[in-house]
């Protein structure tokens, strides 16, 4: 019996192994040289591909993928994948569903709490012996504060629960989610979300990066917010325009921000955001914990073998039209 071959474009994690090592009808190989040219040379030899989210999966690659039955993202973002090319070729693109949804939602809330409590500034100043920093730069409660969550997908829905648990006043904008569903979750729908900006204490970005959402939060939107407001982005770089955010933070148009995703990744030390004292950053790690890494690895590998077995869950497929 010939085995199905899987290209793995990332470290083979325990989660991936937990699924693939149980199968005697598949074999996998890790690729570390992820240039388009190298992938082009080899993709025709594989029935499945697991993507780590770094290297682009282009139309040229898809065009060479004569055996490819499925592309599986280790995660939920897929802005580096040519979905149209996969769809034209009849190849499903899968994501890991809710595997890291709780993790990203927790990170969003962690960012809000850290900003509200001036966690980084207090830590630095107390180490210098500045005990009076608690009065010089007073923290705020989350309770009673108004937050607008952009996106009511898997992460946004969980974040709504977390924010309600902190007694926040929660609003949600998502043009693809029914208002009834948002209200049923305990939040208020914000159809005209820009009109709400002057009233917000927190703006949390939790939507996918698409042509529609790229640059969604720019100079005008930041200028509309009050000087005490905070912006949190745990989604993708570019949804919040970095140049506009730098300007807003430098001129104290808003009080601060927390950013996990950048327009250019990995972000380098010369990124102008890093020179500011009113921003908290993390290395695109919002979805990365011990638990979520195992779940994502197992889920992305399961998507591949489920496709081979003819029982792929449509809920995990981005381009469901290929399923017929």
For residue 124, indicate whether it is catalytic. Answer: no
Judge contact between 94 and 303, C-beta under 8 A: yes
What values do phi and psi take at 66, rounded to 5? -70, -25
Write down the catalytic residue from 118, 236, 241, 242: 236
Judge contact between 151 and 208, C-beta under 8 A: yes
Write down the catalytic residue from 22, 29, 136, 265: 265
For residue 284, indicate whether it is catalytic. Answer: yes
Write down the catalytic residue from 145, 154, 284, 295: 284
For residue 290, indicate whether it is catalytic. Answer: no
What positions carry a catalytic annotation? 236, 265, 284
């Amino acid at each position: 019996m010939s085995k199905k071959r899987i290209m793995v474009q990332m470290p083979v994690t325990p989660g991936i192994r937990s699924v693939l090592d149980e199968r005697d009808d598949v074999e996998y190989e890790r690729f570390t040289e992820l240039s388009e040219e190298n992938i082009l040379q080899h993709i025709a030899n594989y029935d499945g591909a697991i993507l780590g989210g770094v290297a682009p999966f282009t139309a040229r690659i898809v065009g060479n993928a004569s055996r490819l039955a499925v592309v599986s993202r280790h995660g939920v973002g897929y802005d580096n994948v040519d979905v149209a090319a996969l769809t034209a070729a009849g190849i499903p693109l899968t994501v890991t569903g809710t595997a890291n949804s709780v993790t990203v939602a927790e990170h969003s809330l962690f960012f809000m709490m850290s900003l509200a409590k001036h966690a980084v500034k207090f830590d630095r100043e107390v180490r210098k012996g500045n005990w009076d920093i608690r009065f010089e730069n007073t923290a705020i409660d989350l309770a009673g504060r108004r937050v607008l969550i952009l996106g009511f997908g898997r992460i946004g829905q969980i974040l709504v629960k977390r924010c309600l648990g902190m007694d926040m006043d929660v609003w949600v904008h998502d043009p693809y989610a029914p208002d009834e569903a948002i209200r049923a979750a305990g939040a208020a729908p914000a159809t005209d979300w820009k009109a709400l900006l002057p009233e917000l204490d927190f703006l949390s970005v939790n939507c996918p990066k698409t042509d529609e959402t790229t640059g969604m939060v720019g100079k005008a939107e930041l200028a509309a917010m009050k000087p005490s407001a905070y912006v949190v982005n745990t989604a993708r770089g570019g949804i919040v325009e970095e140049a506009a955010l730098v300007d807003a933070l430098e001129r104290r148009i808003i009080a601060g921000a927390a950013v996990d995703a950048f327009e250019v990744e990995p972000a380098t030390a010369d990124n102008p955001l890093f020179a500011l004292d009113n921003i908290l950053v993390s290395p695109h790690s919002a979805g990365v914990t011990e638990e979520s890494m195992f779940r994502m690895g197992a889920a992305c590998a399961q998507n591949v073998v489920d496709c081979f077995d003819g029982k792929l869950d449509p809920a995990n497929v981005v381009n469901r039209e290929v399923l017929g």
